[in-house]
Amino acid sequence: MPDSTARLVGGTEYSWCKSVLSGTGITVLGLLLSKSLDVSLLQTALHNIQNSHPILRSRLRLDASANTFHFITPPNPHIRITQLDLQYTSRIIGSESSGDPIPISPFHRILEYELNQNSWRDHSGSMSVDTDLFHATLYRVSDHQWALFLRLHTSACDRTSAVALLKELLERVGGGVKEGKRTEMELERKGKLRLAIEDLIPEGKTNKPFWARGLDVVGYSLNSFRFSNLVFVDADSPRGSKVAKLHLDKDETERLIVGCKSRGIKLCGALAAAVMIASWASKHRPEYEKEKYAVITLTDCRSILDPILTSNDLGFYHSAILNTHDVGGETLWELARRSYKAFENAKNCNKHFTDMSDLNYLMCKAIDNPALTPSSSLRTALVSVFEDAVIEDSESEEMRQEVGLEDYEGCSSVHGVGPSIAIFDTIRNGMLNCTCVYPSPLHSREQVLTLADVMKKILVDAGNIEDK
C-alpha cells in the first residue's frame, strides 16, 4: 500500500496472532444504547480515533514463508460501520438462543455472537490476507434500543486500551472533544506506531541466565501436567466463547474491598481464590485431598516501561504471571492472601518481564500441539484475572447519560488456548460487575452459572468477616 509503514510484531504480539487464529483473543467492546446514533457522526468519530491511534488503522499481514506477522499502517483511516436492521439482528439472536434453555438478554446474545466472529481466519483456519485489526457493527435491537459493537484483535487492544477507546468514543460522539482540545502528544502520535512491549522494557529487567530460562520452561511444562481443571463437560465438540455474569451490590462490594484493603491485598486475589475454592468444592472432595490450580494474573506494564506509556497509548502492553496453588479446605481470605502475595512476590522479582518470552513460547507450543494439554482442551490455567479492576468515574457517567448508554461490556474470547474462566471485572456505581468468559461446550452454561453463584456466596460471606 502506497505511503504505508510496516513493523514486525513483537514476541507477545506474535503469540496473540497465533492465539486469535485458534479462537482466543477476539476483543469485543459492546455498547447498548437507548438513543439512535447519527451514523455519519459515528463514522467520523471512528475515523478520528483511527487517526489518533495508528494501531487501530493498521492491518495484519502474514508472511507465510518466514512465518512472521507485520502491522501494515496506511496513512488514512478506513473503518466502515456495518449496519444490521432489526430483522437481521433478530435472526442472530434466535440462532444464538437455539438449544440454550437459559434466558439471557438480546445484548448478551449479541456479545457472545461477536466473541465468536473471527475476522482474522478464513474457512480453512488459516489467516486471511491483510486483515483489519478493528471492526464496527451497529445492531438494531428493538424499536428503542441499538447496540454498537467494536471488535478488535487483542494484539492491538488490551483491556486498558479498550477502556481508553470507550472513553474517547463517548467523548467524540457526545461532543466532548473539540479539535482544538487535542494535545500535542495526540498530534505527534498520529503518524507513529508504538513499539512492541519487548522493545520498551527497561534495561536489565529481562536479564536471565540461559540455563535458568531452560529450567523455567521445563518447570512450567512439567507442572502443567499436574494442574487440576474445572470438570470438562464436552471436550470433543467445536468450541466457542460464552459469558456468565457475577454481580455484587454496593454494600457487598464495599465490604469485600474493605476486607481486601485491611489484609493488604487487591481484589484480584479474592476473585482468583473464589474461583479456586468454588472449583474445588464442585468436586466434593474431602478437605485433606488437595488440587493444584494455576492462576494467570495480567498486569498493565505501561507505567514501568521506558519510555513510560499512558492509557492513551493503545496496543497490548500487559504481561502475565503464572502461579500455582494447592487448594483444599481453605477460607477465602487464607487463599486470597496466599494467591496475591505469590503474584506480588513474582512481580517484585520482575517475573512479568523475565518470564514473558517463556510463557509466550509455551502458549504457542500448546496451540501447535493441543494434545500436550489435558483432553486436548488447550487449558493453560483454571482462571485469569487482572491485577487492577476498572473503576468508573463520575465524568464517564455523565458522558454515558448524554449518549443514552444503558449498558456496556468489554471482554475477549477464550475458546482457543487459555483459562477455563477469564474474569473481566469493573466497579460501576460502587458495584462489582464481573464478566466471566469461558469455552463452550468444554464447560456448560449451567456449570459456569452454578460456579458463579458459589463464587458470589464465598465473596459475600468473606466480606462479612471482620479482620482479626
DSSP 23-87: TEEEEEEEEEESS---HHHHHHHHHHHHHH-GGGG-EEEEETTTTEEEEEE-SS----EEEE-HH
List domains and CATH numbers for the chain. Answer: 5-198 (3.30.559.10), 199-463 (3.30.559.30)
Contact 228, 93 (CB under 8 A): no
Contact 111, 32 (CB under 8 A): no
- pLDDT at position 405 is 92
Q: Would you give the DSSP letter of residue 128?
A: P
Cα distances (Å, whole numbers) of residue 291 to 62, 229, 325, 454: 41, 9, 8, 18
pTM over 0.85: yes
The set of residues, in sequence order, having a beta carbon less than 8 Å from that of 376 and lying 6+ positions away, is: 235, 370
Residue 317 has a CB neighbour count (10 Å cut-off) of 23
Alpha helices in 120-245 (DSSP H): 159-173, 184-189, 210-224
Q: Which range has the top average pLDDT, 97-111, 254-268, 281-295, 397-411?
A: 254-268
| Structure-block grid coordinates of residue 220 | 512450567
41 has a pLDDT exceeding 90: yes
Taking only the tens place, the pLDDT of each residue in 356-389 is 998 998 899 999 989 888 999 999 999 999 999 9
Contact 13, 317 (CB under 8 A): no
- The residue whose grid cell reads 468514543 is 169
DSSP string of 285-299?
A: --TT--EEEEEEEEE
Compute the average pLDDT of residues 89-101. Answer: 86
34-38, 41-45, 98-102: the lowest-pLDDT one: 98-102
Which run of H or of E encompasses 135? Answer: strand 134-142
Can you say whether the dihedral through the CA atoms of 354, 355, 356, 357 is positive or negative? positive
Contact 421, 438 (CB under 8 A): yes
Give long-range contacts, CB 8 A cutoff, 24+ apart: 53-56.
53/189, 53/314, 54/189, 54/190, 54/191, 54/192, 54/193, 54/194, 55/133, 55/156, 55/157, 55/193, 55/194, 55/314, 55/315, 56/133, 56/134, 56/152, 56/156, 56/157, 56/165, 56/314
Compute the average pLDDT of residues 442-459. Answer: 97
Taking only the tens place, the pLDDT of each residue in 325-342 is 999 989 999 999 999 999
The pLDDT confidence band at residue 223, using thresholds 50, 70 and 90, is: low
Pairing of strands 390-391, 318-327: unpaired
Average pLDDT, the chain: 90
- The residue whose grid cell reads 462479612 is 464
68-72, 195-199, 245-249, 283-287: the lowest-pLDDT one: 283-287
108 has a pLDDT exceeding 60: yes
Residue 76 has a CB neighbour count (10 Å cut-off) of 10
- pLDDT at position 468 is 47
184 has a pLDDT exceeding 50: no
CA angle 242, 81, 316 (to 5 degrees): 55
- 300 or 399: which leads in pLDDT: 300
- The residue whose grid cell reads 492462576 is 295
The pLDDT confidence band at residue 440, using thresholds 50, 70 and 90, is: very high
215 has a pLDDT exceeding 60: no
Percent of the chain with pLDDT over 90: 74
- pLDDT at position 185 is 43
The set of residues, in sequence order, having a beta carbon less than 8 Å from that of 156 and lying 6+ positions away, is: 55, 56, 58, 71, 133, 134, 314, 315, 316
Which among 429, 388, 426, 421 is positioned nearest to 266, based on CA atoms?
388
The pLDDT confidence band at residue 98, using thresholds 50, 70 and 90, is: confident
Which among 447, 465, 464 is positioned nearest to 278, based on CA atoms?
447
Q: In this structure, what are the phi and psi dihedrals at residue 298, rounded to the nearest 5 degrees?
A: -100, 130
Amino acid at 189: R
Dist. CA 84–CA 90, nearest whole Å: 10
309 torsion bin: left (phi>0), alpha (psi -120 to 50), beta (else): beta
The pLDDT confidence band at residue 314, using thresholds 50, 70 and 90, is: very high
232 has a pLDDT exceeding 60: yes
Can you say whether the dihedral through the CA atoms of 435, 441, 444, 448 is positive or negative? negative
Contact 325, 383 (CB under 8 A): no
90-104, 242-256, 445-459: the lowest-pLDDT one: 90-104
Taking only the tens place, the pLDDT of each residue in 120-141 is 987 666 666 789 999 999 999 9
Compute the average pLDDT of residues 204-229. Answer: 67
- 413 or 187: which leads in pLDDT: 413
- pLDDT at position 402 is 82
